[in-house]
Amino acid sequence: MDACKGFFSYALPPELTLMIMRRMDKPSLEASARVSRVWLALAQPYLFESVAYKARRDEPQPLGDLLGFLHASPHVCPYVSQVALRLADEAPGLCVAGRRARCTLHTLAAALRCLPRLRTLTLYCFPLQCCPTHAEAPLGAPAVPRLAALHIPGWYSAPDGDCPLGVVHFLSLFGAIDRLVLGPSVAFPDSPVPPALAPASTPRVRALVLDSVAPLRGLSAALPLAGLERLTLPVLTRDSTAACRALLADVCGTLRHLELRVHIPAVAATSEELDFSFLRTLDVAAMPALAAVTVVLPVYGRADSGAAQHPARRDGPHGACVLAPAHAFLAALVPALPAGTHTLRLALHLFSRDPAYAFFRAEWWDWRSYPLTPAWAPLYDVLLARVARGLRHVEFADAVGTGLPDVEKQAIVSAMPQLWESGTARFV
């Protein structure tokens, strides 16, 4: 009892100290950990909650020093829940580099096995040697039985060639992945995987997000997706429909949530560009378990010196340049939804509120919103017809995460009165 009494003999209660430390950045946590042993014990869970490792060009054994640290400090391993691995000396977006030492899958597996509470792993152009050799022993059981999220925004491509099954062998390190995000540089072999070269196991993926069309080629043949419940497809075009259709055919029996993105072909779209009849070839009506569908609608405005004086001239979701493709997309998709679909979410991607487009916004996107209620009327008719066939919820959301402007909400409510009066529509 005396030892415990001395442990908590400081001014602030431990609960309050933990609340403060939860909001500290890494430098502040490092300074707090040096104050006393009490603060060291309280700061370590937050200090080592996320670990970022950058492989240097001159490093002979990437990830070797991190593995040594984890072996020498096993008391911090249970605190690590997020790990990010990337190159340290390459320009952003560049995933091809000169000759360098690469980390083997055995080294990565040994590091991952040291982290019992790992939940999120991000791999951005990290140099991995995925080609198995005869001298290496089999990887055996997955290093991580279950991973909450795996993000691969960029895959490292060696200048001297790489294993065509590199991504597949890397994914065999995990038994199950709740959410898998694949970037544009992730590639799978076009031909089926030979049994002799296939890994011993592949993970069970519950949710898959494709940021580009590139990973679609060969994905179904290389990575079995039986049991997939959520799927986010890249921007759909007529050229990418065939690959999307092959993927949807493999998961049609288990897919519960599908997210699609509207393609805005041009400011002045032609009638051919507004023809989204190819969406019917996806055959979403053959998905009996599909309960919810999300459609991401791009929303942007063009700066106009007369916009403030003429609100009706606003470009954006209420202007012809964006409204026409969005209406054509929904008019082709909504009637084809299966009878069991009960929720349709329209996520508005407000470019004027997206920090990633701040540079372009200064050029020609307008910060201001000028709602034009009548422009939502064509969408209203499409949604009303689907509600009559069993659609129970129509949700309006913000895809950026900053929240929908109040004027935007007022325009939607005014244009769709019956949906709001019946309680079918709502903002989320």
Alpha-carbon separation of residue 25 from 53, 76, 348 (angstroms): 17, 18, 32
Q: At what angle do helices 377-387 and 406-415 cross, to 10 degrees?
A: 60
* Token pair belonging to 244: 């999307």
Distance separating alpha carbons of residues 30 and 21, to the nearest angstrom? 11
Letter for the amino acid at 397?
A
What is the maximum span of the chain, computed from C-alpha positions, in angstroms? 81
A 10 A CB-CB count for 120 gives 15
DSSP state of 194: P
Q: At what angle do helices 377-387 and 320-333 cross, to 10 degrees?
A: 10
What pLDDT is attached to residue 120?
97
Pick the closest to residue 391 from 421, 419, 428 (CA basis). Answer: 419
Residue carrying structure tokens 């597996």: 109
The C-alpha atoms of residue 236 and residue 241 are separated, in whole angstroms, by 7
Q: d(Cα 267, Cα 301) in Å, to the nearest integer? A: 11
Strand partners, 297: 348
Contact assessment for residue 177 and residue 150, using Cβ atoms and an 8 Å cutoff: yes
pLDDT of residue 218: 81
3-state SS track over 161-178 = CCCCCHHHHHHCCECEEE
User: Domain map of the chain by residue range?
Assistant: 1-47, 49-225, 229-263+280-318+336-428
pLDDT of residue 362: 54
Which residues partner with 182 through β-bridges?
152, 210
The residue assigned the tokens 């109040």 is 406
pLDDT at 308: 37
Burial 129-144 (b: 16+ CB within 10 A, else e): bbbbeeeeeebeebbb
Phi, psi at residue 420, to the nearest 5°? -80, -35
Nearest to 167 by CA among 185, 179, 149: 185
- pLDDT tens-digit readout, 35-73: 888 888 888 888 888 999 988 777 778 888 889 999 998
Our measurement of the distance from residue 22's CA atom to the centroid of its chain's CA atoms, rounded to an integer in Å, reads 25
Query: Looking at the domain that runs over 1-47, which CATH code has it been given?
Result: 1.20.1280
Sign of CA dihedral 247, 249, 251, 255: positive
- Contact between 210 and 240 (Cβ < 8 Å): no
Residues of the chain with pLDDT under 50: 1, 3, 7-8, 92-94, 97, 135, 301-321, 364-372
- Residue 375 is predicted with a pLDDT of 60
